[in-house]
Amino acid sequence: MSATRIITPDTYDEDGTPIETGLMDERLGTVEPGRRCKLCGNPVGECIGHFGHIELVRPVIHVGFVKILHKVLRATCWRCYRLLLPEDEIKFFLAEMEKHEAETGELSDEVAEEVFRRASRTVTCPHCGETQRKVRLEKPTAFYEETEVGSIRLTPIDVRERCERIPDTDCKLLGINPKYARPEWMVLTVLPVPPVCVRP
Protein backbone atom coordinates (compact mmCIF):
# COMPACT_ATOMS: atom_id res chain seq x y z
CA MET A 1 0.00 0.00 0.00
CA SER A 2 2.83 2.44 0.78
CA ALA A 3 5.19 3.59 -1.96
CA THR A 4 8.04 4.33 0.46
CA ARG A 5 8.99 4.81 4.09
CA ILE A 6 9.63 8.46 4.93
CA ILE A 7 12.61 8.91 7.24
CA THR A 8 13.91 12.38 6.32
CA PRO A 9 12.00 15.49 7.47
CA ASP A 10 13.51 17.59 4.66
CA THR A 11 11.94 18.10 1.25
CA TYR A 12 14.60 19.29 -1.25
CA ASP A 13 18.40 19.16 -1.41
CA GLU A 14 20.64 22.17 -2.23
CA ASP A 15 20.01 21.71 -5.98
CA GLY A 16 16.22 21.78 -5.56
CA THR A 17 15.85 18.04 -6.20
CA PRO A 18 13.35 16.13 -4.03
CA ILE A 19 15.20 14.10 -1.37
CA GLU A 20 14.69 10.34 -1.57
CA THR A 21 12.82 9.08 1.55
CA GLY A 22 11.92 12.73 2.25
CA LEU A 23 8.49 14.35 2.35
CA MET A 24 8.63 15.18 -1.39
CA ASP A 25 10.09 11.79 -2.48
CA GLU A 26 9.35 11.38 -6.20
CA ARG A 27 7.76 7.98 -5.56
CA LEU A 28 4.86 9.83 -3.90
CA GLY A 29 4.07 11.53 -7.21
CA THR A 30 5.15 14.85 -8.62
CA VAL A 31 3.80 18.40 -8.87
CA GLU A 32 6.60 19.83 -11.00
CA PRO A 33 6.08 20.18 -14.77
CA GLY A 34 8.58 18.17 -16.79
CA ARG A 35 9.19 15.60 -14.04
CA ARG A 36 7.82 12.07 -13.94
CA CYS A 37 6.70 10.04 -10.94
CA LYS A 38 9.40 7.51 -10.06
CA LEU A 39 6.79 4.89 -9.15
CA CYS A 40 4.31 4.91 -12.05
CA GLY A 41 6.35 6.93 -14.58
CA ASN A 42 3.49 9.31 -15.37
CA PRO A 43 3.82 13.11 -15.66
CA VAL A 44 2.05 15.66 -13.43
CA GLY A 45 -1.41 15.57 -15.04
CA GLU A 46 -1.59 11.77 -15.24
CA CYS A 47 -0.04 10.59 -11.95
CA ILE A 48 -2.72 10.22 -9.28
CA GLY A 49 -0.10 10.21 -6.50
CA HIS A 50 0.97 7.49 -4.07
CA PHE A 51 0.95 7.28 -0.27
CA GLY A 52 4.07 6.87 1.83
CA HIS A 53 4.36 6.19 5.56
CA ILE A 54 6.24 7.22 8.70
CA GLU A 55 6.96 4.52 11.29
CA LEU A 56 6.56 5.95 14.78
CA VAL A 57 9.25 5.20 17.37
CA ARG A 58 6.56 4.64 20.01
CA PRO A 59 2.83 4.01 19.65
CA VAL A 60 0.49 7.00 19.98
CA ILE A 61 -3.18 6.85 21.00
CA HIS A 62 -5.38 8.26 18.24
CA VAL A 63 -7.31 11.08 19.87
CA GLY A 64 -10.40 10.30 17.77
CA PHE A 65 -10.74 6.85 19.36
CA VAL A 66 -10.00 7.65 23.03
CA LYS A 67 -13.59 7.14 24.21
CA ILE A 68 -13.87 3.77 22.46
CA LEU A 69 -10.53 2.62 23.91
CA HIS A 70 -11.69 3.69 27.38
CA LYS A 71 -14.81 1.55 26.97
CA VAL A 72 -12.76 -1.43 25.75
CA LEU A 73 -10.38 -1.18 28.73
CA ARG A 74 -13.28 -0.92 31.20
CA ALA A 75 -15.18 -3.87 29.70
CA THR A 76 -12.27 -6.34 29.48
CA CYS A 77 -10.17 -8.08 32.14
CA TRP A 78 -6.76 -6.60 32.84
CA ARG A 79 -5.35 -10.11 33.49
CA CYS A 80 -6.88 -12.48 30.87
CA TYR A 81 -8.15 -9.81 28.40
CA ARG A 82 -11.59 -11.43 28.09
CA LEU A 83 -14.88 -9.60 28.06
CA LEU A 84 -16.19 -9.30 31.63
CA LEU A 85 -19.32 -11.37 31.07
CA PRO A 86 -20.04 -15.01 31.95
CA GLU A 87 -19.86 -17.48 29.05
CA ASP A 88 -23.65 -17.98 28.87
CA GLU A 89 -24.21 -14.22 28.48
CA ILE A 90 -21.47 -14.02 25.85
CA LYS A 91 -23.22 -16.78 23.85
CA PHE A 92 -26.60 -15.04 24.20
CA PHE A 93 -25.32 -11.62 23.12
CA LEU A 94 -23.23 -13.15 20.31
CA ALA A 95 -26.37 -14.83 18.92
CA GLU A 96 -28.22 -11.48 19.11
CA MET A 97 -25.33 -9.67 17.41
CA GLU A 98 -25.05 -12.26 14.63
CA LYS A 99 -28.82 -12.20 14.06
CA HIS A 100 -28.74 -8.41 13.71
CA GLU A 101 -25.69 -8.61 11.42
CA ALA A 102 -27.42 -11.18 9.18
CA GLU A 103 -30.49 -8.94 8.88
CA THR A 104 -28.79 -5.57 8.40
CA GLY A 105 -25.18 -6.30 7.45
CA GLU A 106 -23.98 -4.29 10.46
CA LEU A 107 -23.25 -4.91 14.13
CA SER A 108 -25.92 -3.73 16.57
CA ASP A 109 -25.04 -0.60 18.54
CA GLU A 110 -27.79 -1.43 21.03
CA VAL A 111 -26.37 -4.90 21.76
CA ALA A 112 -22.83 -3.48 22.03
CA GLU A 113 -24.03 -0.79 24.45
CA GLU A 114 -25.83 -3.36 26.64
CA VAL A 115 -22.73 -5.60 26.63
CA PHE A 116 -20.56 -2.66 27.68
CA ARG A 117 -23.03 -1.58 30.39
CA ARG A 118 -23.04 -5.05 31.95
CA ALA A 119 -19.33 -5.78 31.50
CA SER A 120 -18.14 -2.45 32.92
CA ARG A 121 -20.04 -3.12 36.18
CA THR A 122 -18.38 -6.51 36.75
CA VAL A 123 -16.11 -6.58 39.82
CA THR A 124 -14.57 -10.06 39.41
CA CYS A 125 -13.64 -11.61 36.06
CA PRO A 126 -15.87 -14.65 35.38
CA HIS A 127 -13.06 -16.26 33.35
CA CYS A 128 -9.95 -15.97 35.55
CA GLY A 129 -11.42 -14.81 38.89
CA GLU A 130 -9.25 -11.66 39.07
CA THR A 131 -10.63 -8.57 40.83
CA GLN A 132 -10.98 -5.79 38.29
CA ARG A 133 -9.23 -2.45 38.43
CA LYS A 134 -10.88 0.85 37.62
CA VAL A 135 -9.53 2.57 34.51
CA ARG A 136 -9.98 6.32 34.26
CA LEU A 137 -9.29 8.67 31.40
CA GLU A 138 -7.56 12.00 31.84
CA LYS A 139 -8.01 13.97 28.67
CA PRO A 140 -6.74 14.09 26.08
CA THR A 141 -5.24 10.57 25.94
CA ALA A 142 -3.91 9.47 29.35
CA PHE A 143 -5.30 6.29 30.94
CA TYR A 144 -4.75 5.49 34.64
CA GLU A 145 -5.44 2.18 36.34
CA GLU A 146 -6.21 1.98 40.06
CA THR A 147 -4.12 -0.81 41.64
CA GLU A 148 -3.38 -1.93 45.21
CA VAL A 149 -0.27 0.29 45.22
CA GLY A 150 -2.01 3.34 43.76
CA SER A 151 -2.74 4.85 40.39
CA ILE A 152 -0.54 3.64 37.50
CA ARG A 153 -0.43 5.30 34.09
CA LEU A 154 -1.05 2.96 31.16
CA THR A 155 1.30 3.82 28.31
CA PRO A 156 0.13 3.56 24.69
CA ILE A 157 2.29 0.40 24.50
CA ASP A 158 0.34 -1.11 27.44
CA VAL A 159 -3.00 -0.18 25.89
CA ARG A 160 -2.03 -1.61 22.49
CA GLU A 161 -0.73 -4.89 24.01
CA ARG A 162 -3.97 -5.37 25.95
CA CYS A 163 -6.10 -4.71 22.90
CA GLU A 164 -4.07 -7.16 20.78
CA ARG A 165 -4.98 -9.97 23.19
CA ILE A 166 -8.75 -9.45 23.11
CA PRO A 167 -10.42 -12.33 21.21
CA ASP A 168 -12.32 -11.52 18.00
CA THR A 169 -15.67 -12.64 19.44
CA ASP A 170 -15.27 -10.24 22.36
CA CYS A 171 -14.39 -7.40 19.97
CA LYS A 172 -17.54 -8.14 17.99
CA LEU A 173 -19.66 -7.88 21.14
CA LEU A 174 -18.11 -4.47 21.86
CA GLY A 175 -19.25 -3.28 18.42
CA ILE A 176 -15.88 -3.64 16.66
CA ASN A 177 -16.16 -5.95 13.66
CA PRO A 178 -12.86 -7.91 13.53
CA LYS A 179 -13.30 -8.46 9.78
CA TYR A 180 -12.60 -4.77 9.28
CA ALA A 181 -11.05 -3.38 12.47
CA ARG A 182 -9.34 -4.26 15.75
CA PRO A 183 -9.10 -2.12 18.91
CA GLU A 184 -5.28 -2.07 18.77
CA TRP A 185 -5.53 -0.20 15.45
CA MET A 186 -6.75 2.78 17.50
CA VAL A 187 -3.21 3.05 18.87
CA LEU A 188 -1.07 4.28 15.97
CA THR A 189 2.32 2.81 15.09
CA VAL A 190 2.46 4.19 11.53
CA LEU A 191 1.29 7.48 10.02
CA PRO A 192 0.24 7.77 6.37
CA VAL A 193 1.97 10.42 4.26
CA PRO A 194 -0.41 11.66 1.54
CA PRO A 195 0.72 12.01 -2.08
CA VAL A 196 2.29 15.36 -2.96
CA CYS A 197 -0.54 16.20 -5.38
CA VAL A 198 -3.20 16.30 -2.64
CA ARG A 199 -1.30 18.43 -0.14
CA PRO A 200 -1.99 22.15 0.24
Kindly report, residue by residue over 100-126, the tens digit of the pLDDT. Answer: 999 999 999 999 999 999 999 999 999
pLDDT of residue 145: 98
- pTM value is 0.89
The per-residue pLDDT for 1 is: 85
- pLDDT reported for residue 76: 99
CA–CA separation, 49 and 193 (whole Å): 11
CA 124 from centre of chain: 28
Give the pLDDT of residue 138.
96
The alpha carbon dihedral of 128, 74, 112, 102 has a sign of: negative
**Parts of the chain with a pLDDT under 70:** none
Residue 122's pLDDT is what? 98
pLDDT computed for residue 200 by the predictor: 82
Dist. CA 59–CA 192, nearest whole Å: 14
Residues recorded for the chain: 200
